[in-house]
Amino acid sequence: MREPLRVVFAGTPDFAVPCLAACFDAGTNVVAAYTQPDRPAGRGRKLTASPVKAAALAAGVIVEQPENFRSVESRARLAAYDADLMVVVAYGLILSSSVLATPRYGCWNVHASLLPRWRGAAPIQRAILAGDDASGVCLMQMEKGLDTGPVIARRATPIGRDDTGGSLHDRLSAIGADLLRETLPLLAAARAPLPTQAQPDDGVEYAHKLEKSEALIDWNASALAIERKVRAFDPWPVAEGDVAGERLRIWRASALDARANAAPGTLVGASRNGLDVATGDGVLRVAELQRAGGKRICALDYLNARPELKQAAA
């Protein structure tokens, strides 16, 4: 009977944890888990382990946290694990050609987009912002370029009108784990690189890292574009906009099939259903929001705190 595949796992955030579990489910021997060094987090800025570190330690897996692989020692330590494969999921480091060539069958990457669209750091949010009808996961054989490697397997999922960055994140994380559960046994049986399909040259888009500054709403944009921003930036960085003289974080909003004869940013309606704000094209209804220092509330609770808005918008 063959020995199970020796796998080194490399990942950091919540998105990667189901994929680590999938490696166990597929019967591989996870010999080490690489993750980013502990970082300050929370109000106390206490050093905090990544979700992958916590999951790996709970499973009894050795954890490695190098800042990078530039030193001879770090590369030698990786080579000493004698891995058949490295599975990389949102690790947070660019891997050199020498690192990619260290495992016997190279490195696989689980990427949350339908490549070549949305290569890069924030594919989930960029897909929603762009109004894409679908997203998905690609299991890719890694090469030196940024998400340019040939694809081993892919699976698509529609993006619904109610999908947020958070809901799509969770669904794609589960899909990525499913692809690993299905594909790792094929490599274990073949003990040779699996067939791949090169990415086409057409259709390349880069999903640049999200910046906090992008969260501010420009009311001159269309209601539909602003709705997408609200959905894409939930749960981070959360869209913000000036409404009725107050800066609000906007958690849930929808573009109405309506027009308003008012300047963009003007409150044109206020009811238990939401705050209606004129935009550059159409009206946006804000249903859930958050005041500075407050908690997330519905529009009705907000209006109870500011009853004058009902008359102002009438």
Nearest to 297 by CA among 314, 270, 272, 278: 272
Report whether 113 belongs to an annotated binding site: yes
Going from the C-alpha of 68 to that of each of 37, 47, 78, 215, the distances in angstroms are 10, 19, 12, 31
Yes or no: say if 208 and 121 are a contact pair by the CB < 8 Å rule: yes
Provide the 10 A C-beta neighbour count for residue 143: 16
For residue 134, the cross-strand partners are: 158
Pairing of the two strands 85-89 and 6-11: parallel
Burial class (CB in 10 A: 0-12, 13-18, 19+), 1: exposed
Report whether 115 belongs to an annotated binding site: yes
Burial class (CB in 10 A: 0-12, 13-18, 19+), 76: exposed
- Specify binding-site residues for (6S)-5,6,7,8-tetrahydrofolate: 113-116
Tell me the binding residues.
113-116
